[in-house]
Amino acid sequence: MPAASHTKKENRLAKEKSPYLQQHKHNPVDWYPWGEEAFAKAKKENKPIFLSIGYSTCHWCHVMERESFEDEKVAEFLKKHFISIKLDREERPDVDKIYMTAVQAMTRSGGWPLNVFLTPDLKPFFGGTYFPPKPAAGRPSFTQLLERVADIWATKQDDIVKVAAELLEELGKVTNQEPVRGIILSPSILTNGLGSMKSEYDPRHGGFGRAPKFPRPSQPLFILRQAVRDSDKDAISMIDFTCERMAAGGIYDQLGGGFSRYSVDEKWLVPHFEKMLYDNAQLIHLFLDTHLATGGKHHADTVRDIIRYVLRDMTHKDGGFYSAEDADSEGHEGKFYCWTKAELVKLLTADEAKVVIRHFGITEEGNFEDHSHPEPLKNQNVLHIADPKLSAEEAKLLTSAKEKMFAARAKRVRPHLDDKVLASWNGMMVGALARAYAVLGDEQILAAALKNHNFIRTTLWDAKTKTLHSRWREGERDSVQLFEAYASQLDGVLELYQVTLDSSQLEFAIEIATAMTAKFYDPKAGGFYQSDSETKNLILRVKEDYDGAEPSGNSIAAFALLKLAAITERKDFREQAEKTLQLFSQKMQQVPEGLPYLLRALDFYLDEPFRVVVAGDPKSPEARKLILAAHTVYQPNKVILGTSGPVEPFAKTLPAKDGPVVYLCTGTACQPPTNDPAQVRVLLKKPPTKPDTGGKLK
């Protein structure tokens, strides 16, 4: 978004660190941040609260701001009849989840911007998403909506309070889940889930479901896991083709690398151009797994490009990873990324232009128009690979052309960068980078992962209180405690440990898991709440259970705790994961497509995972080769550990043999040790035999 003029008066949001709230600091709306000041004023003046939730790279949030929140008359009406609160959903997903659930219950739909009307005691009574400035497509204008709500509050307040109380009671029933007795955690749940998800496959364009199409990596990751186990070639092909089509589509930045959030069409052609850290972290895992499962080197190339993008454009100088990049530039969605044919003909040589036009499917009329802007740009082309066939000479021309295009694009006004550092999304990315290093062998990737790990430990982790803060920006961290921050950091640190075998990282993982359990775990019913019991001004404590664009914290935590239990033999961690699986077992059974990440955790739980125990100095070149060999086999039900630090007791008894060796173990039985990386790969490709040794090695 273009920066607001410095001559405009600033509102209360100017004091906030959130980039999203900063975007609204010049609005004439009398905005309050989420907090006691706003709540007290609403109660004192007996006014309903208008809560508007979004995030800094949300395209339709920008549109509604431009159309309504910059309107003086709208601002005046809001100030007279409401207390207006702006909230960044990425900073407070716990608050967002409550009111998104309420709006979905009322309207059967949701999204952002999320606009909700609350009683002064924070109970929702009406809401929706984007409202236009003029009546359109059956929707009232935003002004009409405000007038109607204000009138009902003035004339039927008792009725509204009653309805709000009833809605809250119903929401409480939905969110306070109890485990269903009689459901056995069995492989049949996985089989059912695989069949359900495969039925959604689009054989023409790849992906699952209809437009708009989200990559949603947890779903193809689960399908691939089951397909390889069952030697289901059709299902493996589904994932291979999906990755291929996504990487060839406009959803992928063909010049700069990295994926946009989703495609508005079924072809992966026209993206919603915002780029999110969490999407790209998960897609690294998906393309790595697909590369390992199929041998497709092009999938590994896509991983390298994603990482190049993240390290170039999304990384703080001290190692933290930024949150997102906007879809808009100079008020137009996609302006930074799109090209007209005339631009390309002018920029490139005739031979280069000929190749680019054919390869990227460039046309005179274009394939994209930003209809959300009153004056849309014409003849815009989203780059996508329309014709992949190139001769050696054409490939050289394409390379030189892309270099010119990238340099020219770099001179354009860049989309807004959301430069806050979130513990949750950084956990996802550090884990992805750790695995990428192990598979691709690029030391620069490991260096970036280690630098990020150090950044999180020094800026967001309080070692004295064993507390993980959620957000850092411009030298300041917040005070909010969020479960998903702990869960994602736990998972990321575990991935990093399995690459380095640095026992200090395993110790840190245990600290995170212990603090996470103390703050968020429900020992009675199982599962984890999004917020701790000390968080104020929440009308509900919710357990998130949906693996959408981001996996739920419960899914991430369950899987991470199972891996941590396998590494440490801590029964308490396994029991917490088991109770979480049991809590959501009915949903896994009935709506498996809603919990694909949790189904991956269930798969791990039902199996006896391989323990790749590396005995010897993990920093030695010989040990590094053995560790990396274990990572270059597609074997998702494994953990890799050393023999020092808080690892399981049996591993500590396994000796090195004239240098580092690997023991491939299940239970207390291990294969004979080997110092041959090739043999490690062979052993991991098939279940090892379990010698009857009474827990001792032959």
Mean pLDDT of 236-249: 98
Q: Which band of pLDDT confidence, cut at 50, 70 and 90, is reported for residue 594?
A: very high
Q: How high is the mean pLDDT of the chain?
A: 94
Measuring CA to CA, which residue among 525, 464, 528 is closest to residue 490?
528
pLDDT on residue 3: 45
Coil/strand/helix, residue 518: helix
Backbone torsions φ then ψ of 390, nearest 5 degrees: -135, 140
Residue 434 near residue 288, CB atoms below 8 Å: no
What confidence tens digit (pLDDT) does each residue in 128-138 have?
A: 999 999 988 77
pLDDT on residue 696: 34
The secondary element (H helix, E strand) that includes residue 276 is: strand 275-276
**Nearest 5 degrees, angle CA 673-CA 676-CA 682?**
85
Q: How far apart are CA 253 and CA 698, in angstroms?
A: 54
Phi-psi map region of 125: left, alpha, beta (phi>0 left; psi -120 to 50 alpha) = alpha
Measuring CA to CA, which residue among 448, 460, 523 is closest to residue 486?
460
Least confident of 131-135, 253-257, 284-288: 131-135
What confidence tens digit (pLDDT) does each residue in 167-203 have?
A: 999 988 877 788 888 899 999 999 999 999 999 999 9
| Neighbouring C-beta atoms of residue 205, cutoff 10 Å | 18
Q: Hey, what domains does the chain have and what are their CATH numbers?
A: 12-175 (3.40.30.10), 187-326+419-606 (1.50.10.10), 337-411 (no CATH), 610-684 (3.40.30)
Q: Is the pLDDT of residue 688 over 60?
A: no
Q: How far apart are CA 374 and CA 336, in angstroms?
A: 18
Pairing of strands 332-333, 461-462: unpaired
Q: Which band of pLDDT confidence, cut at 50, 70 and 90, is reported for residue 59?
A: confident
Structure token digits, residue 603: 């798969």
Coil/strand/helix, residue 698: coil
Q: Which band of pLDDT confidence, cut at 50, 70 and 90, is reported for residue 684?
A: very high
Coil/strand/helix, residue 140: coil
Q: Give one DSSP letter per residue of 431-464, joined into a string.
A: HHHHHHHHHH--HHHHHHHHHHHHHHHHHTEETT
What confidence tens digit (pLDDT) does each residue in 502-558 have?
A: 999 999 999 999 999 999 999 999 999 999 988 899 999 999 999 999 999 999 999
Tokens 């009671």, located at residue: 169
Q: Which band of pLDDT confidence, cut at 50, 70 and 90, is reported for residue 227?
A: very high
DSSP code of residue 6: T
Q: Is the pLDDT of residue 1 over 80?
A: no
Which residues, in sequence order, are bridge partners of residue 664? Answer: 612
What confidence tens digit (pLDDT) does each residue in 465-483 have?
A: 999 999 999 999 999 999 9
Alpha helix (H) ranges present in 525-632?
553-568, 571-583, 585-590, 596-606, 621-631
pLDDT on residue 48: 97
| Neighbouring C-beta atoms of residue 125, cutoff 10 Å | 24
pLDDT on residue 6: 47
Mean pLDDT of 563-583: 97
Q: Give one DSSP letter per residue of 482-503, joined into a string.
A: BHHHHHHHHHHHHHHHHHH--H
What confidence tens digit (pLDDT) does each residue in 13-55 have?
A: 999 999 999 999 999 999 999 999 999 999 999 999 999 999 9
Where in 38-82 does DSSP place strands (E)?
49-54
Query: Residue 203: is the preceding peptide bond cis (ω within 30°)?
Result: no
Q: How far apart are CA 130 and CA 122, in angstroms?
A: 21
Q: Is the pLDDT of residue 278 over 60?
A: yes
Task: Kindly tell me the sign of the dihedral angle through the C-alpha atoms of 107, 110, 112, 118.
Answer: positive
**Nearest 5 degrees, angle CA 258-CA 263-CA 268?**
80
Backbone torsions φ then ψ of 443, nearest 5 degrees: -65, -30
Measuring CA to CA, which residue among 589, 638, 514, 610 is closest to residue 196?
589
pLDDT on residue 7: 59
Measuring CA to CA, which residue among 367, 340, 338, 341 is closest to residue 354?
341
CB burial of residue 168 (10 Å; 0-12, 13-18, 19+):
buried
What confidence tens digit (pLDDT) does each residue in 326-349 have?
A: 998 888 999 999 999 999 999 999
- Cα dihedral 362→365→371→377 (10° resolution): 90
Phi-psi map region of 258: left, alpha, beta (phi>0 left; psi -120 to 50 alpha) = left
Q: Is the pLDDT of residue 687 over 90?
A: no
Q: How far apart are CA 85 and CA 11, in angstroms?
A: 12
Where in 209-358 does DSSP place strands (E)?
262-263, 271-272, 275-276, 324-325, 328-329, 332-333
Answering whether pTM is above 0.85, one says yes
pLDDT on residue 689: 41
pLDDT above 70: percentage of residues in the chain: 97
The residue length of the chain stands at 698
Maximum pairwise Cα distance, the chain = 85
Q: How far apart are CA 684 and CA 670, in angstroms?
A: 12
Q: How far apart are CA 644 and CA 494, in angstroms?
A: 15
Tokens 């391989």, located at residue: 610
pLDDT above 90: percentage of residues in the chain: 89
**Nearest 5 degrees, angle CA 264-CA 553-CA 111?**
30
Coil/strand/helix, residue 37: helix
Q: Is the pLDDT of residue 125 over 60?
A: yes
For residue 506, give every residue at least 6 positions away whose Cβ sits within 8 Å of its Cβ, in sequence order, or none.
Answer: 494, 497, 567, 568, 641, 645, 646, 647
Least confident of 312-316, 643-647, 684-688: 684-688
